[in-house]
A and B are shown apart, each in its own frame.
Chain A
Amino acid sequence: MAAAIEIEALVKRFGDVEAVRGITLSVDEGEAFGYLGPNGSGKTTTIRCLLGLVTPTGGRLRVRGRDVAASLPEILADVGYLPGEFGLWPSMTGAEVLGYLGDLHPRPPARRAELCERFDLSAADLGRQVRFYSRGMRQKIGIVQAFQHRPRLVVLDEPTEGLDPVMKDRFVALLGEHRDEGGTSFLSSHILSEVELATDRVGVLREGELVRVGPTRDLKGERVRHCTLTLRDPGAVELDLPGVDGLRQEGARILFDYRGEMGPLIRRLAELDVVELLAEPESLTDAFFDVYGDR
């Protein structure tokens, strides 16, 4: 299968700071790739190099067989991009923003109406100036503008920031459809659930270096949840259960990490007088480092 994205020995320095250190990576046409890493690890810089917004210090980038340095306009005609942090034109309405961004593209915004409906952007919403929009509303506009012209490749940097759970589900479904239609996705995110659902492979960045690349499915079943248990009567509690680690008590709260299926844990907790249980999945990045023991 042809490569949608080829990154070869990419280096980017800002003054004395080396933001990206020799990344080599390939994403196939039709593949959904997750690009993971903590803040400052070089994810956004890689994306900006890929889109010609930043000039690499070294290395080569190709998108759908074309060299980024030589054929940027042709490449961008096939790309939909949602930046991680973006602003809109405050005096414009949502409809005007989508119209403006559509006018900048050679292809017609064939999916605009359908996407606005899917993400609950009503005519009234689109008629309001974007300076009155919430973070979630702005994000919906960002998603629509990235997909409205049916791009072959979507590059998405933290795409679900600010979206409520229903909209996140709809976004994951949209990514699934894009993949089913043969489109390629390059998704930078730190939200485990959406990366698990929406990508085939992930790459993990740390301090500008690509430290791991592997199938997303390798992570399933290995995920650690950070649990906080609140009991009505916090006496001495023993959770002698496989997968429980780092058990400690802070007043009425008991904190521990749990690895494995949730069923056994829930059955054990049913024996206690539980007021509340929070089980927060760790980030995919952390899970990846856990899996490969590379911390």
Chain B
Amino acid sequence: MNGAVFRTTLRESARSIAIVTLGLAAFFYLVLLSSSAFLDDIFAAPGFFRQPPKAIEAFLGGSANFLEPSGWLVTAMMHPVALALATVAAVGIAAGAVATELERGSLELVLARPVSRRAFLLGKLGASLVAVTAAQAGGVAGVLIARLTVDRVDEIAVADVLVTFLGAWLLFAAFAAVATFFSAGSSLRGRALAAGVGVIVASFFANFVALLFDEVGGLRYATPFHYFRPGELMEGSAVADLGVLLALGVLFTALAVRRFQRRDLTR
């Protein structure tokens, strides 16, 4: 990994990383704060909350429990706002790793120096992973603040919070590697960005459909979202599945490097 590329990319993206981090911190805190209102009178909660429909469970990754603090956290993690913010962190830098530099015309200035393409790309991916880490750390901070200030949120063990966010980190780190792969072969940032975001949306949709309809249930194994099940992670199961996300990230990193090393750098 090239240190100068890594540092410069981070400096260029510092503001957007900070905004996403604060956004996720605020979002997790607000979800936990508002969810605690359900507990005022559990038995008066509408049936929808006591036994959510299958579609809602599928939408939230397979389980929905609005009456327990751990369920609120699952809801927050699979909420489209949280997923969108985490997607921005994962894809924002990664999709531009090569494509933006090539489109802008700055890549030649860098690679006409003794900087290997692998070191350059890993520097960019390293900066992407910092963005993913910062975003998830923002989420952790929001939950930890909620533990101190919102009723019953302290029932979620800190270890459970950390393992859940580790899962989210691995999921979005893998997506960052996928976006880097698209960028490595593209000369247009818009195209690489669309491909990266498209993969995330398609994966989410495929997982949702697979959980909703038994006929296509097997489809879920083909989506990275299947290997990130926050509810089960907090129960101590599904931890081994995180290895799949790790392997996916490593695989797409290797593919991205290979693709970048073999291509001509022309606009």
CA distance A142 to B108 in the complex (A): 12
Whether A104 lies near B2 (C-beta < 8 A) is yes
For B106, give its contact among A54, A87, A103 (CB under 8 Å).
A87
- What total of A-B pairs shows CB separation below 8 Å? 76
Q: Which of B8, B11, B262 is the most central at the interface, judged by chain A CB atoms within 10 Å of its CB?
A: B8
For B108, give its contact among A77, A83, A91, A106 (CB under 8 Å).
A83
* Chain B residue nearest in CB terms to A81: B112
Interface of chain A, main secondary structure: loop
A94 to chain B, nearest CB (A): 13
For A51, give its contact among B5, B105, B112, B266 (CB under 8 Å).
B112
Interface size grouping (class) on chain A: 20 to 34
With an 8 A cutoff between CB atoms, is A132 at the interface? no
Whether B113 lies near A104 (C-beta < 8 A) is yes
Whether B110 lies near A104 (C-beta < 8 A) is yes
With an 8 A cutoff between CB atoms, is A289 at the interface? no
Q: A83-B105, A86-B108 are in contact. Are A74 and B266 (CB under 8 A)?
A: no
A186 to chain B, nearest CB (A): 13
With an 8 A cutoff between CB atoms, is A291 at the interface? no
Q: A14-B264, A55-B264, A89-B8 are in contact. Are A83 and B113 (CB under 8 A)?
A: no
Count, chain B residues at interface, CB 8 A: 23
B106 to chain A, nearest CB (A): 5
With an 8 A cutoff between CB atoms, is B116 at the interface? yes
Q: Determine the chain B residues whose CB is within 8 A of the CB of A25 once the complex forms.
A: none
* Chain A residue nearest in CB terms to B106: A87
* Chain B residue nearest in CB terms to A51: B112
Whether A105 lies near B113 (C-beta < 8 A) is yes
CA distance A88 to B105 in the complex (A): 7
Q: Determine the chain B residues whose CB is within 8 A of the CB of A145 once the complex forms.
A: 109
Question: What 0/1 readout, one digit per residue, does chain A (151-183) give for beta carbons within 8 Å of chain B?
Answer: 000010000000000000000000000000000
B1 to chain A, nearest CB (A): 13
Whether A86 lies near B105 (C-beta < 8 A) is yes
Whether B115 lies near A104 (C-beta < 8 A) is yes
CA distance A198 to B88 in the complex (A): 49
A173 to chain B, nearest CB (A): 24
With an 8 A cutoff between CB atoms, is A73 at the interface? yes
For A53, give its contact among B4, B112, B116 (CB under 8 Å).
B112
Whether B113 lies near A101 (C-beta < 8 A) is yes
Whether A88 lies near B114 (C-beta < 8 A) is no
Q: Determine the chain A residues whose CB is within 8 A of the CB of B8 once the complex forms.
A: 89, 92, 100
CA distance A81 to B106 in the complex (A): 12
With an 8 A cutoff between CB atoms, is B247 at the interface? no
CA distance A53 to B260 in the complex (A): 11
Question: What 0/1 readout, one digit per residue, does chain A (269-288) give for beta carbons within 8 Å of chain B?
Answer: 00000000000000000000
With an 8 A cutoff between CB atoms, is A85 at the interface? yes
Whether B114 lies near A73 (C-beta < 8 A) is yes
CA distance A179 to B3 in the complex (A): 34
Whether B108 lies near A54 (C-beta < 8 A) is no
For B109, give its contact among A74, A86, A91 (CB under 8 Å).
A86
Question: What 0/1 readout, one digit per residue, does chain A (199-216) give for beta carbons within 8 Å of chain B?
Answer: 000000000000000000
CA distance A88 to B12 in the complex (A): 12
With an 8 A cutoff between CB atoms, is B45 at the interface? no
CA distance A103 to B119 in the complex (A): 14
Q: Determine the chain B residues whose CB is within 8 A of the CB of A81 once the complex forms.
A: 108-109, 112
Q: Determine the chain B residues whose CB is within 8 A of the CB of A217 once the complex forms.
A: none
CA distance A100 to B8 in the complex (A): 7
CA distance A219 to B111 in the complex (A): 36
Chain A contacts with B in 100-124, Cβ cutoff 8 A: 100-101, 103-106
CA distance A51 to B113 in the complex (A): 9
Q: Which of A14, A92, A103 is the most central at the interface, judged by chain B CB atoms within 10 Å of its CB?
A: A103
CA distance A85 to B109 in the complex (A): 10
* Chain A residue nearest in CB terms to B262: A55
Q: A76-B114, A87-B105, A101-B110 are in contact. Are A48 and B266 (CB under 8 A)?
A: yes
With an 8 A cutoff between CB atoms, is A224 at the interface? no
Whether A79 lies near B112 (C-beta < 8 A) is yes
For B114, give its contact among A77, A85, A92, A155 (CB under 8 Å).
A77
Whether A53 lies near B105 (C-beta < 8 A) is no
Q: Which residues of B contact A (CB under 8 A)?
A: 2-5, 8, 11-12, 104-106, 108-116, 262, 264-266
Given contacts A76-B113, A87-B106, 4 further A-B contacts (CB under 8 A): A53-B266, A54-B265, A74-B114, A92-B12
- 24 A-B pairs with CB atoms under 8 Å apart are A14-B266, A48-B108, A48-B264, A51-B111, A52-B111, A53-B112, A73-B116, A76-B114, A77-B114, A79-B112, A81-B109, A83-B109, A87-B105, A87-B106, A88-B106, A91-B12, A92-B12, A100-B8, A101-B110, A103-B4, A104-B110, A105-B114, A106-B114, A145-B109
